[in-house]
Amino acid sequence: MITDSIANDPGYKHSLPSEFLHGYASASYQIEGGYQQDGRGLSNWDVYLKDRDNGNDAVDSYNRWREDVKLLKQYGCDVYRFSVSWSRVKPLGGKDDPVNEKGVQYYSDLIDALLEAGIKPLLTIYHWDLPLKLQERYNGFCTPDSSLIVEDFVAYSRLLFERFGDRVKDWITINEPHAVTIMSSTGLVPDWMMKTSPWMRDKADRSGSRSFGLNHYGTRWATGIKYDTESKLRDDVTLHDKFEFFCGNIEATPRGKDGKMIGNEGNLAQVYDVPWGFRKVLQHVHKEYAEPNGIKIYVTENGFTIAGETTMTTIERVNDVQRQAYFDGYIKQLIDAVREDGIPIAGYMGWSLLDNLEWWVLMKTYKNGSRAHLTFFRGRGWSQTVGVTYVDRDNDFERIPKDTTRLLKQVWEHVVADHA
């Protein structure tokens, strides 16, 4: 375990208020498994990933949630972000479709156990797993008639509020609306096309909240070079094998003008350890969104994937020094943003509690009738792990804490003020 940590720095002792929340995050499809258990209906991902790495069993949290709650308590957490599987509580998804009471009971029991352990439940209503029947009925979130998905989503949300609202006081409506709208991660659109419904963009732009949730992993340099991105994708079908990454039509790269990498490179070049970039993001979000609306920021996802981790021995996985350094540096920058920049940050959730399934997405773009293919792998199934707990899926889903959990418990005990 690393020793050069803010957990050992007297200057950071009690630098965050006692009400600051810290814990870990997860998502239903990525952890639960039990995809045909106790009346759960199929989701878009069950079909899309049926011949790839998938969440049929995931890490079996549907049956091992008690173990997960014990881990959260062991890790010293006071908040846990999780999502509800829409198709587990309403198998067919629609406003007039029946409720699966066994699915509702699963989440009710989880919430009760969290509260009993002194852990605040932070519930994400929609983390990308759409009931398959809604995709088949009207193309899910990509429907041209927005009233269909809106009515069904409202009915689903109302069910959660009615059943869990007496105990759950903090909610996230949709995880990463940008991904939902721009990349159509919400469902099986024909050929998994990359498309956006204009009404969804409008709804997202005009939404309101009591807080700003931020998912952040890494930083790249913006070169300032502009591209006709669609033409480039059409002309170069191997683009996904190259280092360029496009933000709109601006090239971004992990290498500076001197050719040096911007920070320690994670698995598959998806994440780079750039703590100062995290602080800049916090500053930007505060200036543009949080401060004008008088709201606080919660970091709802933040984590690091180590190159080659899935091929390591158990001892090597547990000794996750790179992940420890990543979290330590990012939390330090968060504290500096609070103390020096005056940014009101109220909580932090690391991604993720467990070595869960990471999203495996194939997308295709179209332009003027001609097809340009872009293969986009986000996480690549079981070939990439981001969790702080190793899950041995070949040994009855045994949960083995990584050293990051011990470090972060020490960090939070040191930097968060004692409760009065």
- Interacting residues of 380 by C-beta distance below 8 A, sequence separation 6+: 53, 268, 358, 360
- 403-415 and 321-341 helices, crossing angle to 10°: 20
288-327 b/e (C-beta count within 10 Å ≥ 16 → b):
eebeeeebebbbbbbbbbbbebeeeeeeebbbbebbbbbb
Nearest to 84 by CA among 147, 52, 40, 117: 40
With contact defined as beta carbons under 8 Å apart, do 288 and 328 qualify?
no
Question: What is the DSSP-derived secondary structure letter of residue 75?
Answer: T
If phi > 0 it is left, if psi is from -120 to 50 it is alpha, else beta; for residue 36 that is: alpha
Neighbours of 273 (CB within 10 A): 23
DSSP state for residue 416 in the 8-state scheme: B
Q: Judge whether 176 counts as a catalytic residue.
A: yes
Catalytic residue among 251, 301, 309, 358: 301
* Identified catalytic residue from 32, 116, 151, 176: 176
Positive or negative CA dihedral for 322, 324, 327, 333? Answer: negative
Give the full edge-to-edge strand order of the sheet including 250-253: 221-226, 250-253, 245-247
Cβ(135)–Cβ(75) below 8 Å: no
Decide if 303 contacts 350 (C-beta within 8 A).
yes
Residues in the chain: 420
- SS3 call for 400: strand
How far apart are the C-alpha atoms of 328 and 331, rounded to whole Å? 5
Give the Cα separation of 352 and 26 in Å (integer): 6
User: For residue 262, which amino acid is it?
Assistant: I
List residues with catalytic annotation: 176, 301
